[in-house]
Every structure is written in C-alpha cells, then in structure tokens.
Chains A and B, each alone.
Chain A
C-alpha cells in the first residue's frame, strides 16, 4: 500500500510539469489582459516539434542530449511565434479573444497532426531524457523518490515557480504586465506601450506553452500522438483561474490536477475493478467543479482580461 502511494506521489511531480509550465505561461498572458485559449494548440505544436528533432536526429534510436535540448529550444521558439501570432490577432486587430483562441487551438492541433503524419508517420518513440537523482537527498526513503529523483526539466520547472513570482511582483516588467491587464488606459497615460507589453507577455506565455508541449513528448510520453495533449491546454487555462493568477497557487493546482490524472494509474495498480473511462474523466470533472467554486466574485482577476485596448475609443 505504501509502495503504491509512494509510486503515485513520485509520478505527481514529473507528470505535473506540462500543466505547470503551460499555466504559468497562461498566467502571464492573462495578467497582461489576454485570454489565450489557443494554449492547447501551442502545446500540440511544441510537443510535435520537440519530439521531431530528437526523432530525426536519431532515426528513433538513441541521440545525444543536445538534440533533446534543441527540441525544447525549438518548441519554445515556435511557441513564442504562436504567441506573436495571437498578439497580431487579438492585440493589433483586437479580435475577440475567446473565439480567436479556439481558432488558434484548431490550427495548432491540426497543423501538428498534419506535419506529424508527414514527417513521422505512425507511433514512433524516442529515448527521452533520464531521471537524475539528487545526491544524498534522493537516498532519503519515500521523500527521495517523491521529490528528488526526476528529470532535469522537472526540477527546472519547479525552480521557475519562484522565478515567475519574482518577475511578476518584483520587476518593472512585471509591474507593467499587471498594469496593462488591470487598467490599460492608466498604463497608457503613463507612457507604457500597452500593445508592446501585451505582445511581450504573449511571447513569454507562448514559449512556456511550447516548452510544456515539448515536455509531454520528450520527457513524459517519449512520443507524439494526436491525443497527447488531450485537453491539458484547456486545463492549464482553468488552473490560472483556480490559482487566482498567482504562481504559487497555480503550482498547487497543477499538483492537485496531476493527482487526479494519476488516479487512473493507481486504480489499475491496486487491482480495483473500476471503469477505465470514469477514471480518465476525473480531472475534467474536477475542472468543472473547481471552476464552479472559484469563478464567482473573482476580485483578484485582472479587470481588463479579455478586453482589447484602443486608445481612441472611450468607454
């Protein structure tokens, strides 16, 4: 029993990384006032490109770690480009963000699937990246397995949580991002370029979503498929609400949802006969339940979220 729980909890950290990165990215978008529902599509593109590079380099076999790194880098760049595209659509042209995000999601998922069929074909696995035991700490029983025996990217992602907090609350850029997401007119009157700041946040958010996708394909699944993302991008968006646009709370949310996702594995490993489908449903149901409790009376939300800014139109 203890072994099962340890096993489950030790999966929690590595499996939560994609959600964590994507929702931190979405947090920057939303803090700047842009609701990017295209996250799912950006993750799909990141996952595909991230996997493609090590796959092509090693023809499916072992590759140097540098190719994995290159995969991550390419995914981040591609994600940033998608962020930029979304900026053109929603910041420059001021298209309604919700429906434009759905468009970006379709485009991203569709393009990833199309390119995947052409460049890779069927299900092909890549070697992925190894787990690294942190010296000494990893030897602690139970705790070591849960916290200190994961791949490098997982550690980095968690280190990024306080970094994101610092960026948001302790730097001038973070101040600008929060201002344009709350009162863009005020920011504008103080000489801050609202559009530029939103673009920057979108680029950062896109890059993080791309990384999140690449993590899924390179580190977690070690392959790509059309259903790899399966709603994680949307869950990431929901997590931002759940986490009240705050990095630490978002981290908590990412862990909670990962726990729900690993539920299915536990059920199987404990030999309980429980319909597989119901176990898979759990995180999705959880999103709805959680949103039902947190969506009302959001006083912390960036008040200009979802509203395009136009200096010349008075409201």
Chain B
C-alpha cells in the first residue's frame, strides 16, 4: 500500500494475553482474576450473560479502564495502555456496542478524528483528502463500501457498523475487538458480517463478544465464558455443542417460558390506523402505520431499531404528537390525549430507557411505585400524601416482585438494571392495567431477570390483557408473541401468526423486502 507508511504502526500481533485482570467498581467486582489468550489469526468468542463483565474486560484491553490488578502481554511483552491511543498504537481496534461516532460529522471527519496526530499535515491543518484516500483503500481491500461524505445521522445502523469497521481498520488495527456486533442487525446482515469477518481472519485476530450461540459456533475457534466477572470456562469451540456452552453460560439450566397459548382471541382493544408521526428531527418516523392488538394476546413488534419503534410506543402513550390518523383504545380515541388521560384510561407502559424514562433515579423505591398514582385516593387524601399507605404497598410489592434492595427508602437509581425493571414492572402491574406496552423489557438483563419478566408478561396475557411487545431480540418475540408485526421505515410490513414466523422470514421483512 503506497500511502500506508505514515500509518504503519507495529508488527503483527502474534499473541495477546490478558493475565489475572481484576477491576472493581463501587459495590461490584466487574473483573475477578480473568485471564484470556488469543493467537495469530484466531477468533476468540467472549461469551456470557449481560452484566458478566465482558465489555469491562474489553474496555480494559483498550485502555479505557485501568485494571486494579493484572497485566496485558502482546507478543510476550508486557504493555501498559494509559488510553485508547496507546492501544491503537499497539494495533488493537474496537467496535463498541453503541457506535462511537459523532452524528453531526461526516464519515471522513469521524475517521480523521481517530487518525488524529498520525495525519500527514501542515501544522493545524486538517488534511481530509489524505483521510479520504485512506478510506478508499480500506474499503476496497475489505469490500466495505462506505460513502465518505455522508453524515453519520443519515446512515442506517448497518451502514454505521461498516463505518465503524472502516474506522477501526483505518486506525491500523491488526487485532479487532467487536462488542455484540450483531445485536442490531437483521439475520441476513448477520450472515454477511460473519462472512466478512471470516475473510478478515487471514490478516487479523478477533475477539468478539456475544451471547448468541449460533454466531459463536459459526465464527470462533475458541470460546471463553464469563459469569459474574469470572472465567467459568474456556476451550475450543468445536469441542463443545451449543447446549453445553449455553449451560455453562448461565450456570444453571434456565428454560425461558414460552407462549403456548392457543388463538382464543378477544376483541380488538388497541387499534392504530394510518398513524403518521414526526421524529425529533422533524422527518416522518411513523408512516400511516396500522396495527391492531386484541385482548389477551401478545403482539410482538420486530424490526431493526430506529425504524419507528420508539415513536410508536411514545405516540400510544400520548408522549408524541399524532400528525394524522387515529388511535382507538377500547373504542375511545386517544390520539393526542395527554399522558395522564391515557394512563387513567388503563394503559400500562414499560418504556425503553428504564433509568431515565421508567424511574426517577434519585427517588426512593416507594416513591417510584406511586409515581403515576400519587393523586389517587389510594395514596393521598385531598392533597396530603398518605405515607403509611405508600409504605405498606411498597413493602408488599418489594416482596411480591422480589426486588433486591436494602429497603423501600433506597434511591432507585442505585439498583441494578434487573431490579429497576422489577420496580417498573411492579408499578405497572399493581396499577391493574387494561393494556401494556413493553419496550425492550429485557435489554441488558441477566437470564434470571429475563425469565422473571417473561413469565410475568405471560401471566398478564393469561389474565386477558393485550400486550404490545417491542423488542430487538427475535428469540424473545418468537417465544412470547401470538402474532408478530414487522416494522420497517415507520410502517408495518406484515403481520404474521407465530406459526408462520421464522427468523429468516422475519429478517427479510425487517430489511424492507416485500414478500
């Protein structure tokens, strides 16, 4: 490569070892004496439940966190990374789970940002031409087409991931770290990515984080399983079956409950017809969307994130303005009603961002339980708050939903994700809703919490409540739903019965292909 001299960094990475890494966060031992080892051209799958410490370990490898104990060796030499720039220089590159791109800059500018001081430049001048040339080289070499002049916010999730890969390679990575690279992709895009990564292993070593076992089997040579910050298993991928790996991941057999219900459907209780809604950027987020949900059924909404899921949930709950169309809830029009009116009409809601939308973090657990009902006669008389009633309800809910906490006066923000989600779920169920909108209800939770939440959702369904389940986990949707609607660019592509739905079929629909 003619231009690559100015970027060339160091020799190949023949081996990379992390030895006895320990990292503490307040109240958590995120990494507990972890050792891993990757050789040239190898692919290591780092597997474990959410919260097992995979990302923390990789952030340590990239110099983003400093380990409290342990060391990193490259080609047998101990190295110390004070920041990501040191890791880049050593030839490491990471694609984070949430993409690390600046949305209001172009692809070229984003990559220039990372190249930084390695840019051939006059003092102070930003040589975007050289960056562009570099991007073109990398794109051609690996078959990763990106438009260097596009702004990041204009790109789809899949395209952004390509940008991330190009960026990492432009920075001279000889060792790739990928954090849950497939979580936001359709099944077809996943296949493409796996093929691409396979090709790359000719030149690179890869660590990738995942909790999806098909990918682990398809891509990796070696697998290391973390649980609660510890290595519980490591070995060659081919020697073990998916089931064996799965069993070691959770530590005990968890079989997620499934919707085994039959199609005894009730009346349509929530009915959206031709709903059009604008996004924050003032472009249409929902485009004449039409969807019905009946009493006693779970409708799963599948789709690549960013196709209007957030807006759909918000508009049903009165948090976003309806431009046109109608939303009927038990026969009444609720479009553009206030959130209060919609809550009072019996809508339950598990919002996407549990920390900022589901709970008021500095508020105590008991205060969050009554967030929606402080003015109801159950918790106050006239304007005076009834502390005793709130306390007794809170004690009851903490027990019934097994919220692990020091007490009902604990600030909710200090709880773990799973416990926060239980607080939200407890509040919504205690309100006896007539309908529930659940958005990414298990995102980032460990299997125990997932199991709990899934079985609660199924219980609600049994009791005759309609549920709209929005999720990016196809497994979750396939496990729980009676019917599955696929959303693409703000419209429902198709609604399938559970019996007709397969991951592949859903994937094609999610990518916008009409059947």
Q: Which residues of A contact B (CB under 8 A)?
A: 170-176, 178-179, 182-183, 185-193, 297, 299-300, 303, 311-312, 315
Contact = CB atoms under 8 A, between A and B. Distances in A.
Contacts, number: 82
B260 interface: no
A171 B116 contact: no
B96 A189 contact: yes
A187 B65 contact: no
B126 A171 contact: yes
B27 to A, nearest CB: 13
Given A188-B84, A189-B64, A189-B84, A183 B125 contact: no
A300 B104 CA distance: 8
Contact of A182 (B96, B99, B102, B112): B102
Contacts of A176: 113, 116
Contacts of B167: 190
- A175, A185, A191, A311 — most chain B CB neighbours (10 Å): A191
Nearest first, the 8 closest Cβ-Cβ pairs linking A and B are A191-B85, A186-B100, A190-B114, A189-B100, A191-B84, A183-B102, A171-B124, A179-B102
A192 B116 contact: yes
B100 A185 contact: yes
B104 A175 contact: no
Given A172-B124, A186-B110, A188-B64, 19 more contacts: A172-B112, A172-B125, A175-B113, A176-B116, A178-B104, A178-B105, A182-B102, A182-B103, A182-B104, A182-B105, A183-B100, A186-B100, A186-B101, A189-B64, A190-B114, A191-B87, A191-B88, A192-B116, A311-B64
A175 B125 contact: no
A105 to B, nearest CB: 27
B340 interface: no
Interface in B63-78: 64-65
B125 A171 contact: yes
B102 A187 contact: yes
Contacts of A191: 83-88, 114, 116
A191 B116 CA distance: 9
B508 interface: no
A178 B103 CA distance: 11
Contacts of B64: 188-189, 311
Nearest to B99: A186
Contacts of B104: 178, 182, 300
Interface in B89-125: 94, 96, 98-105, 109-110, 112-114, 116, 119, 121, 124-125
B281 interface: yes
Contacts of A185: 98, 100
Contact of A183 (B25, B103, B114, B121): B103
B282 interface: yes
22 contacts: A171-B124, A171-B126, A172-B125, A173-B124, A175-B105, A176-B113, A179-B102, A182-B103, A183-B102, A185-B98, A189-B64, A190-B113, A190-B171, A191-B86, A191-B87, A191-B88, A191-B114, A191-B116, A192-B113, A300-B104, A312-B25, A315-B355
Contacts of B112: 172, 175
Nearest to B119: A172
A190 B116 contact: yes
B126 A175 contact: yes
A182 B153 CA distance: 12
A249 B65 CA distance: 40
A297 B99 CA distance: 24
A32 to B, nearest CB: 13
A172 B116 contact: yes
A187 B104 CA distance: 13
B105 A179 contact: yes
B299 to A, nearest CB: 31
Given A178-B102, A189-B100, A191-B84, A172 B65 contact: no
B165 interface: no
Given A172-B112, A193-B83, A311 B65 contact: yes
A238 to B, nearest CB: 22
